């Protein structure tokens, strides 16, 4: 579908409308064809049944008339008991009166005929046939008692039509209707005396059936109770094939099922392939009630549906013509509608490539396209103004970023450097610091300096807020601390924080504050005096085999800069050789992972316990690595600062 996405609106619009039109035309033509065809089929079915019923009634009428002749002769024989001459004359007369009959025969049981002078075991029969234009006698010179035309009515004790057969000449197909001669004895019992039989040539029946013509190829046919063809346009099938043998030869079970229904005396209308070729027909079939045969009439589908097919072709041609006419109208309309859109698209491409002076087409219309053109013009003006403002903003941002970079460099320059080691000639202690700002300019601070030959002062703090203001507040705090420490005669960390707090709290409209830890280490004795101004308690790492980690006891001090004249207190501990003090800001313990969980003090204590004997710089690096692994994929939100001091003893070598 990528090719469709690349096409224009006019093409897509035309395609969608034409698809809809094609669908509607197709549905209309389909519904019209199916409806008309069904109406035609219903009409053909009604006409077919009427034609078949009329033909069947005509044949039944002839057969019923033929049935009355042997019935009358049998009644005459039973009631009048004529002699041989009278019977032969009577039969000849009846044959002359009924030209549709081929012959009339009377055959009697031994001793039951009218012949005088014959014995009881002698047979008597009388048979007259029509030969050209006259009637002649045709003696029955065989024992007829064992032939179907005589034996079946005797056994069934009723009149019976025979299956068709070839007559005396072998050229005429005939059927016979046999009527039993029944008399009653003095005791009231019935007695079979013989048969009266009329022979009916099927030529007249073939003429009746052949007279049915439907179109050029439609025809009728007749089958017997056994399915044998009596009439059919292809004469080689007559008396030689049955409808079942045709079905077997063509491997067509549908024909077999139709044959079964026909010999069962059913009526029906169905579509069928011709019995001898692949032409399609509709077949209507109905029984002949007189003799149980069945009449079938085939209606050629192609011929009868020729008119509707022609009409459908005409409608299809009109539909195709209308489709192309609509296509031309749609293409011209869509092109006219989308022409200004294409012009707007070209202008938009030029603007997108950076040509803000591209000409926007002026449209006089006030429809959606006209309003779109006005919107493009407004967009062009707004875009020019935006680019101008963005250029000025970008320049200002670049200046700010440059200034922030300079401020960061100044801030990092204020902080003491770790490398090379700050006190390479002081083996009494080892010191390492690291800071990782969350922004260009951070708010954490640390400092360390020698007050005299025996005392090391160090501080770690965290200013509220971030950015330049926090950096300035940090620089001021750091300067005040260094000034106060060096100005005091009797050094006290508590006094230092009190003086610095008063200086910061005075004239502090922004209410900024800083948490601060300050410590002074006597590098000879290992005594550490410290004061905590609201900062995270540092950890003391023992040098024993157990490698315990303990937080330094708090001094109950608050953050600096909050309120003047706030008292501070200090405490002191004596470090043993090999013990370490770990001072940090809350950026270490409050680092978060992807689920919002904090790094926490217990996790930090566990890591410090494993690293207590490692060099101070490795301790800092391992903790940073642990924080990075914990916070994978999460940006840093707070400054991270660590200061690590290990006391080696007054006379030990550097660690």
In the sheet that 580-584 helps form, which strands lie side by side, from edge to edge? 429-436, 640-647, 580-584, 539-541, 549-551
Strand partners, 190: 184
| Whole-Å CA distances, 88 to 41, 263, 333, 455, 607 | 55, 38, 98, 169, 142
CA 414, CA 400: separation in Å to the nearest integer? Answer: 20
Which helix (H) or strand (E) is 313 found in, with range? helix 306-352
CA 330, CA 13: separation in Å to the nearest integer? Answer: 8
| Whole-Å CA distances, 119 to 123, 304, 385, 475, 506 | 9, 67, 142, 163, 169
Sign of CA dihedral 626, 531, 639, 486: negative
CB 444 within 8 A of CB 473: no
CB 653 within 8 A of CB 458: no
Domains of the chain: 81-196 (3.30.450.20), 205-306 (3.30.450.20), 420-647 (3.60.40.10)
381 alpha carbon, distance to own chain's centre: 47
Predicted confidence at residue 568, as pLDDT, reads: 94
Written in H, E and C, the secondary structure of 314-367 is: HHHHHHHHHHHHHHHHHHHHHHHHHHHHHHHHHHHHHHHCCCCCCCCCCCCCCC
608 alpha carbon, distance to own chain's centre: 60
Q: What's the average pLDDT block by block, 10 residues per block, for the chain (655 residues)?
A: 63 75 82 78 80 86 88 89 89 89 90 62 84 84 87 90 76 86 81 90 81 82 90 86 89 90 91 83 89 89 76 81 83 74 74 74 68 73 79 72 56 59 84 86 85 92 82 86 83 90 86 93 95 95 82 93 92 94 94 91 92 90 94 88 92 45
Of 558, 564, 502, 505, whose CA–CA distance to 531 is shortest?
558
**75 DSSP assignment:** H
CB 447 within 8 A of CB 635: no
Predicted confidence at residue 655, as pLDDT, reads: 41
Predicted confidence at residue 2, as pLDDT, reads: 64
Written in H, E and C, the secondary structure of 104-170 is: EEEEECCCCCCCCCCCCCCCEEEEEEEECCEEEECCCCCCHHHCHHHHHHHHHCCCEECCCEECCCC
Neighbours of 237 (CB within 10 A): 20
Predicted confidence at residue 316, as pLDDT, reads: 81
Residue 483: exposure state from Cβ atoms within 10 A (0-12, 13-18, ≥19): middle
Predicted confidence at residue 6, as pLDDT, reads: 62
Which helix (H) or strand (E) is 214 found in, with range? none
Strand partners, 165: 174
Predicted confidence at residue 178, as pLDDT, reads: 93
CB 105 within 8 A of CB 135: no
CB 634 within 8 A of CB 592: yes
For residue 284, which phi and psi values (nearest 5 degrees)? -115, 135
Relative to beta strand 539-541, strand 580-584 is antiparallel
CB 105 within 8 A of CB 140: yes
Predicted confidence at residue 515, as pLDDT, reads: 94
Neighbours of 214 (CB within 10 A): 20
Predicted confidence at residue 495, as pLDDT, reads: 92
CB 528 within 8 A of CB 521: yes
251: its two tokens: 């491997």
- For 368-412, the DSSP string reads HHHHHHHHHHHHHHHHHHHHHHHHHHHHHHHHHHHHHHHHHHHHH
Enter the pTM of the model. Answer: 0.48
Helix (H, G, I), strand (E, B) or coil at 301: helix
- For 508-558, the DSSP string reads -TT---EEEEEEEEETTT-EEEEEEESPPPPEEE--STT--EEEPPP--BP
List pLDDT tens digits, range 450-509. Answer: 998 899 999 999 998 777 778 788 888 888 998 888 887 677 899 999 999 999 998 787
CB 647 within 8 A of CB 582: no
Q: Characterize 81-113 residue by residue with b for buried, 16 or more Cβ atoms within 10 angstroms of its Cβ, and e for exposed.
A: eeeeeebbebbbebbeebeebbbbbbbbbeebb
List pLDDT tens digits, range 583-619. Answer: 999 999 999 998 989 999 999 999 999 888 899 999 9
**585 DSSP assignment:** -
């Amino acid at each position: 579908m990528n090719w469709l996405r690349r096409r224009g609106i006019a093409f897509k619009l035309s395609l969608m409308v034409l698809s809809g039109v094609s669908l509607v035309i197709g549905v209309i033509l389909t519904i019209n064809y199916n409806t008309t065809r069904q109406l035609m089929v219903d009409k053909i079915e009604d006409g077919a049944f009427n034609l078949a019923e009329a033909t069947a009634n005509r044949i039944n009428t002839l057969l019923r008339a033929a049935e009355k002749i042997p019935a009358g002769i049998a009644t005459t024989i039973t009631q009048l008991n004529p002699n041989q001459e009278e019977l032969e004359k009577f039969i000849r007369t009846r044959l002359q009166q009924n030209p549709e009959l081929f012959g009339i025969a009377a055959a009697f049981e031994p001793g039951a005929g009218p012949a005088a002078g014959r014995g009881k075991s002698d047979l008597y029969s009388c048979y007259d046939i029509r030969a050209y234009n006259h009637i002649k006698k045709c003696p029955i010179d065989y024992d007829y008692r064992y032939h179907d035309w005589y034996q079946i009515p005797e056994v069934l004790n009723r009149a019976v039509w025979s299956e068709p057969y070839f007559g005396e000449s072998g050229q005429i197909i005939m059927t016979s209707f046999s009527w039993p001669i029944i008399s009653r004895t003095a005791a009231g019992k019935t007695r079979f005396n013989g048969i009266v039989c009329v022979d009916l040539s099927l030529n007249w029946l073939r003429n009746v059936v052949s007279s049915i013509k439907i179109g050029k190829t439609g025809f009728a046919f007749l089958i017997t109770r056994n399915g044998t063809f009596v009439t059919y346009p292809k004469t080689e099938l007559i008396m030689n094939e049955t409808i079942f043998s045709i079905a077997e030869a063509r491997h067509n079970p549908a024909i077999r099922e139709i044959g079964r229904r026909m010999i069962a005396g059913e009526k029906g209308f169905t579509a069928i392939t011709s019995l001898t070729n692949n032409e399609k027909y509709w077949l209507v079939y109905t029984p002949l009630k007189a003799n149980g045969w069945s009449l079938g009439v085939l209606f050629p589908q192609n011929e009868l549906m020729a008119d509707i097919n022609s009409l459908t072709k005409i409608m299809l041609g009109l539909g195709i013509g209308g489709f192309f006419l609509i296509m031309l109208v749609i293409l011209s309309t869509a092109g006219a509608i989308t022409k200004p859109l294409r012009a707007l698209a070209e202008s938009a491409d030029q603007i997108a490539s950076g040509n803000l002076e591209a000409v926007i087409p002026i449209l006089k219309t006030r429809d959606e396209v006209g309003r779109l053109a006005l919107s493009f013009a407004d967009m062009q003006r707004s875009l020019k103004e935006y680019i101008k403002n963005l250029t000025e903003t970008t320049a200002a941002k670049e200046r700010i970023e440059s200034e922030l970079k300079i401020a960061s460099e100044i801030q990092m320059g204020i902080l003491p450097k770790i490398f090379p080691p700050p006190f390479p000639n002081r083996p009494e202690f080892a010191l390492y610091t690291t800071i990782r700002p969350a922004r260009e300019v951070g708010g954490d601070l640390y400092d360390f300096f020698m007050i005299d030959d025996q005392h090391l002062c160090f501080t770690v703090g965290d200013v509220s807020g971030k950015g330049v203001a926090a950096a300035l507040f940090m620089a001021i705090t750091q300067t005040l601390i260094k000034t106060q420490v060096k100005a005091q005669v009797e050094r006290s960390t508590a006094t230092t924080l009190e003086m610095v707090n008063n200086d910061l709290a005075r004239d502090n409209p922004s209410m900024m504050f800083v948490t601060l830890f300050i410590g002074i280490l006597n590098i000879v004795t290992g005594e550490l005096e410290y004061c905590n101004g609201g900062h995270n308690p540092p950890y003391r790492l023992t040098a024993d085999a157990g490698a315990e980690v303990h937080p330094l006891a708090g001094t109950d001090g608050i953050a600096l800069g909050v309120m003047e004249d706030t008292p501070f207190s200090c405490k002191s501990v004596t470090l043993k050789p090999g013990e370490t003090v770990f001072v940090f800001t809350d950026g270490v313990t409050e680092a978060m992972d992807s689920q919002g969980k904090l790094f926490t003090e217990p996790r930090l204590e566990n890591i410090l316990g494993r690293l207590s004997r490692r060099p101070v710089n490795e301790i800092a690096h391992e903790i940073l690595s642990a924080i990075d692994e914990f916070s994978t994929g999460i940006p840093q939100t707070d400054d991270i600062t660590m200061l690590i001091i290990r006391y080696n003893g007054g006379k030990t070598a550097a660690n």
